[in-house]
Structure 1
Amino acid sequence: MNLELGRSGWAQEPGSRDSMTSVSTPSWRPRASALRSRAFIGLMLVDLLCIIASFLAAVLLHARFGSDKNWIVLLAVLLPMYVVIALNAHAYSSPNLQDPFRAVAKGAQALVIAISAVIFVAFFVRVSDGFPRMLVTLGSIFSLGSLIAARYLFVKHMAAIIGGNPFSVILICEGDQRVPPGKFSVVISPESFFDPEQHDPVMYDRLAKSLESADRVVVACSPERRTAWAHALKGANIQSEIVAPELRDLAPLGMGNHGSEPTIVIANGPLGLFDRFMKRAFDFTLALGALLALLPILAVIAVLVKLDSAGPVFFKQTRIGRGNQMFKMLKFRSMRVLESDLAGARSASRDDDRVTRVGKFIRRTSMDELPQLINVLKGDMSIVGPRPHALGSRAADKLFWEVDTRYWHRHAAKPGLTGLAQVRGYRGATVYESDLRNRLQADLEYLDTWSIWRDLLIIAMTFRVLLHRNAF
């Protein structure tokens, strides 16, 4: 049996087998099971400490620490209720421990439900009068904020905190196959110890022992042997996948059935009815509230734009929206009318001579985007989603869809005022093809992992990038 260990940082060009001919000396690290236990216990302690510290801070602010002990009873009920709800919501499961945003969403969801349940029970048994409302409100807000920040940081830096990556991925690669790109904890060449076409209990025992510590196994084999490997791994009690490079261009999302025939799922379609209702209600409420609150500022900007240069207050440009349908997007005009680029073929640059004096300020502060709240009310846009692009937008002199054919996939949702790409700093001119690919990857990740909790987190993170070095 040829096992190659200690390859957690291993990556190579597809088709190369040079790195599989030599065995690297693995550095010592704790067993994966021990690391998973550390991750589970560590994150649970982080959650509980955030809730306890938040209510203590609320008590100190409320100046009730010495005279009122009801908060201790509240905390004694809230903590176990949160743990039970979080466990039931899989807030500590492996998939959610590998994605900071999913970890945050699950934790925040469990906390909101736990706090709501405690308040409901207190009201139902008529003891709610004993709980200071301000203290409960402050403690809840502090808990939610600290839990979101702590969960994100813990999962983001989990490997450094607990002493290694607790999630093991094994590659089984047959000798005549190209090595798929990616990182694997263990690489196995199975020829000398397992043949899936031979039903030998001893060989199956060897395979089971090789895979027992893994969270996931990936098999690279010839097409005619895929069925045999599938049968061999279906009883292995581990997430198992078979590499099918010919499906790369289809970008399948999963498997389905039509009648008695299996099908490849290539698109999920719209969100469920309830999720669509939640997102639309959230968008409409936030956009309407923001427009009313910002009305004086919008009026001042409109006057300044009109006084600064001749032309309309608003700049209307055709952008690509949901389902690849086009719509007119609104912005405060920041360029001189005769030099405006309706197609968007030329991206704005630093010290752009087309930009007016007022335009420089509102672009730098992202205030030129505020009229898009009207697009949100109309239903053309959402508060959070992939940013809409102009038809002539280019990266390295190529139209966006010429750079990456997946570009059209990002339009499965309404475009947004802000998005995951923006909060990660992918803004400004697309000088290189990588500038677009970075944004596209973030957009596709957002579509795959949407939740209302992630929308809230992205909105919160947007405020820190409003003044960005690439905003000009």
Structure 2
Amino acid sequence: MRAEAAERPLEESKAAVRLPLSLPAISWVSRLVELAAVLGASYLATLIYDLRVPQDLAINYGRLTLLTGIVYLVLSESMGANDVEAQLSFRKALGRVLSSLVFTAVTLLTVGFFLKATEEFSRIWVVTFFALSAAGLIVTRAALIPLTRRLKRQGVFNQRVAIYGAGPQGSRLAEYILGHEKLTLSINGFYDDRVPANVQTHGLPVLGGSQRLIADIRQGLVDQVIVALPWSAEKRLREVVELIALTPVRIRLAPDIAGFVFAQRTVVLLGEVPVVTVFERPISGVDQALKWLEDKVLGLLILAVAAPLMAVIGIAIKLDTPGPVFFRQQREGFNNRPFLVWKFRTMFADRCEGDNIAQATRRDPRITRVGALLRRSSLDELPQLINVLLGQMSLVGPRPHAASTRAGGRVFSEVIARYAARHNVKPGLTGWAQICGWRGETQTEEQLQKRFEYDLHYIDNWSVWFDLYILIRTAATVLGQKGAY
């Protein structure tokens, strides 16, 4: 659903002349200015290097410049560079704009390579062109965003909204609008035939009934009406909507009271009926295929590199204490399905626990000398690469815990009611919580809560790049921490 913004009611005694401006209109201005910045970057790069090429090749430079601008506009649109938050926040816009330009460069270079066209262009010109394009795009956004924010504060983009219905549903709607910074809406007030005029709700007055609303619309004081009546009042809803429909104004139906609980959820059409998507399966569709490919390819590469080290570790375990090299213990995986996790044995063979597992503590007498070193460096987790290749785990994800593990004397699932949400994705060999310091023994419920929050953040924000970032940071972070015993 389109985001539109919220301000306190505007005092208007007569229909004001309003500028035909909106955030979408400003975004189109931004697109045109950015296209001009790319074209200008090409011209400057040509001047800087006094580029002189035959006429037939000069046409190719022009085509490359225009193609760069078009591909950039397409990619920037798909990456959200023109969304409301990117129009109002330089920090958010910067990442999306530069990412779009980088992907544009990679796309064109890849196409040029396969078409064997890269030899036709000066490499130093191409590098300068993209560098100047980046600078031009940054300057463009740095100039447009403060202007856009200033206009928004002045209410230039705001649509004047009337809420019909001053009951609990209308009150919740007004509270939501007034607390939503990204919306571009100014609430004139409430209208309701069953509530006396001049009553205040959230600092907003009840201006009158449906006839007063019609009069205000006729005077040009209202751009949009949101009907906030209980959906069960079907007859009243129809009567109000049919009456307002006689005027040239946008009419919207506010969600019922229960709808505000899921206010941030996506609304989609099921046939012709709008339904709220309460929860999507995380990492599904194409993302699931990418995650699978990442686990298999990188898992095999890491296993091949780590194999000699794993052999040395196995010999050290055998020489240190009698017993098997590996230890298998039940964990809960995707969809709460149990599986056996592989680890190097770090405890004395007769003290390894299969059920009612107690987390290892500092100076735990169950841990062997080699085991202590393996735990501090997390090298005891390396055999879980087998679980990754078997499809039971991922390289990155929430760490798998035994169902009986406790924090503050209570099992994890009792401490956090939504703890099972961690199992909506496969558990990982490493995870976002671990590299952020939430690793090792969980002594208190607060520690478990923090770990859970980081795990949910990873699930909600997953990407291949996020996984690679976590993998790169894992070695340095884990080796330097002291949380694991």
Place the TM-score, normalised by the shorter chain, in its bin: 0.5 to 0.7
Q: Would the aligned equivalents of 2:265 and 2:277 in 1 still touch at CA under 8 Å?
A: yes
| Larger-gyration structure (1/2) | 2
C-alpha spacing 1:355/1:76, structure 2 compared with 1 (3 Å): farther
TM-score, structure 2 as length reference: 0.61
* Residue among 461, 469, 482 paired with 1:457: 469
Q: Would the aligned equivalents of 1:194 and 1:207 in 2 still touch at CA under 8 Å?
A: no
Give 1:21-170 correspondences, 5 Å limit.
80=69, 83-94=72-83, 97=86, 108=99, 111-112=102-103, 114-121=105-112, 123-124=114-115, 126-129=116-119
2:350 equivalent in structure 1: 338
2:258 equivalent in structure 1: 244
For the pair 1:381 / 2:371, whether they are aligned, the reply is no
CA distance in 1, matches of 2:417, 2:370: 37
Q: CA deviation at 1:115?
A: 1.0
Bigger mean CA offset, 385-394 vs 113-122 = 113-122
2:195 equivalent in structure 1: none
Q: Would the aligned equivalents of 2:413 and 2:420 in 1 still touch at CA under 8 Å?
A: yes
DSSP-derived class of the 1:200 partner = helix
2:413 equivalent in structure 1: 401
TM-score, structure 1 as length reference: 0.62
DSSP-derived class of the 2:341 partner = strand
2:320 equivalent in structure 1: 308
C-alpha spacing 1:303/1:4, structure 2 compared with 1 (3 Å): same
For the pair 1:274 / 2:264, whether they are aligned, the reply is no
1:468 equivalent in structure 2: 481
Equivalent residue pairs, number: 403
Q: Which amino acid aligns with 1:244?
A: A
Give 1:133-282 correspondences, 5 Å limit.
192-193=205-206, 200-201=213-214, 244=258, 257=270, 265-269=277-281, 271-282=283-294
Deviations 1:229-288 (A, max 9, x none): x989xx87999877638958x99775664x787655444246544333222111100000
DSSP-derived class of the 1:319 partner = strand
CA distance in 2, matches of 1:198, 1:455: 58
DSSP-derived class of the 1:427 partner = coil
For the pair 1:433 / 2:424, whether they are aligned, the reply is no
Q: Would the aligned equivalents of 1:329 and 1:375 in 2 still touch at CA under 8 Å?
A: yes
Q: CA deviation at 1:347?
A: 2.0
DSSP-derived class of the 1:331 partner = strand
C-alpha spacing 1:311/1:271, structure 2 compared with 1 (3 Å): same
Deviations 1:306-339 (A, max 9, x none): 2222221112111111111111111112222233
Q: Which amino acid aligns with 2:110?
A: I
Q: CA deviation at 1:380?
A: 0.4
1:319 equivalent in structure 2: 331
Q: CA deviation at 1:298?
A: 0.9
CA distance in 1, matches of 2:94, 2:257: 28
Q: CA deviation at 1:358?
A: 1.6
Q: Taking CA–CA contacts closer than 8 Å with sequence separation of 6 or more, which of the two structures ends up with the larger relative contact order?
A: 1
Q: Which amino acid aligns with 1:429?
A: E
Q: Which amino acid aligns with 1:349?
A: T
Q: Would the aligned equivalents of 2:326 and 2:344 in 1 still touch at CA under 8 Å?
A: yes
* Residue among 284, 294, 304 paired with 1:292: 304
Q: Which amino acid aligns with 2:102?
A: L
RMSD, aligned α-carbons? 5.8
CA distance in 1, matches of 2:353, 2:302: 29
1:26 equivalent in structure 2: none
CA distance in 2, matches of 1:316, 1:419: 21
Q: CA deviation at 1:399?
A: 1.5
Q: Which amino acid aligns with 1:112?
A: F
CA distance in 2, matches of 1:267, 1:203: 40
Bigger mean CA offset, 179-188 vs 416-425 = 179-188
CA distance in 2, matches of 1:86, 1:367: 41
Q: Would the aligned equivalents of 1:347 and 1:393 in 2 still touch at CA under 8 Å?
A: yes
C-alpha spacing 1:128/1:396, structure 2 compared with 1 (3 Å): same
CA distance in 2, matches of 1:267, 1:81: 35
Deviations 1:126-177 (A, max 9, x none): 44246799x99xx8xxx9xxx9xxx9xx9xxx99xx99x99x9x9x997869
2:428 equivalent in structure 1: 416
* Residue among 337, 340, 343 paired with 1:328: 340
CA distance in 1, matches of 2:83, 2:252: 13
1:57 equivalent in structure 2: none
Q: Would the aligned equivalents of 1:401 and 1:407 in 2 still touch at CA under 8 Å?
A: yes
C-alpha spacing 1:243/1:302, structure 2 compared with 1 (3 Å): farther
Deviations 1:173-212 (A, max 9, x none): 9786998899765998858146797781566776769x9x
Structure 1 gaps, min length 5 = 6-31, 53-64, 212-216
Deviations 1:391-448 (A, max 9, x none): 1122222211112221112212111112232233322222222222222233333333
Q: Would the aligned equivalents of 2:76 and 2:96 in 1 still touch at CA under 8 Å?
A: no
For the pair 1:372 / 2:372, whether they are aligned, the reply is no
CA distance in 2, matches of 1:354, 1:437: 27
Q: Which amino acid aligns with 1:421?
A: A
C-alpha spacing 1:252/1:82, structure 2 compared with 1 (3 Å): closer
For the pair 1:442 / 2:435, whether they are aligned, the reply is no
Bigger mean CA offset, 261-270 vs 330-339 = 261-270
CA distance in 2, matches of 1:343, 1:110: 54
CA distance in 1, matches of 2:269, 2:329: 40
Q: Percent identity?
A: 30
CA distance in 2, matches of 1:260, 1:419: 41
Q: Would the aligned equivalents of 1:105 and 1:453 in 2 still touch at CA under 8 Å?
A: no
Bigger mean CA offset, 343-352 vs 97-106 = 97-106
Q: Which amino acid aligns with 1:395?
A: A
Q: Which amino acid aligns with 1:448?
A: D
Q: Would the aligned equivalents of 1:256 and 1:265 in 2 still touch at CA under 8 Å?
A: no
CA distance in 1, matches of 2:209, 2:469: 46
C-alpha spacing 1:81/1:264, structure 2 compared with 1 (3 Å): closer
Q: CA deviation at 1:99?
A: 13
Deviations 1:354-383 (A, max 9, x none): 222222222111211111111110010111
Q: Which amino acid aligns with 1:469?
A: K
Q: Would the aligned equivalents of 1:396 and 1:432 in 2 still touch at CA under 8 Å?
A: yes
CA distance in 2, matches of 1:253, 1:337: 52
DSSP-derived class of the 1:84 partner = helix
* Residue among 360, 364, 388 paired with 2:372: 360
Q: Would the aligned equivalents of 2:76 and 2:97 in 1 still touch at CA under 8 Å?
A: no
Q: CA deviation at 1:304?
A: 1.3
CA distance in 1, matches of 2:91, 2:468: 14
C-alpha spacing 1:222/1:437, structure 2 compared with 1 (3 Å): farther
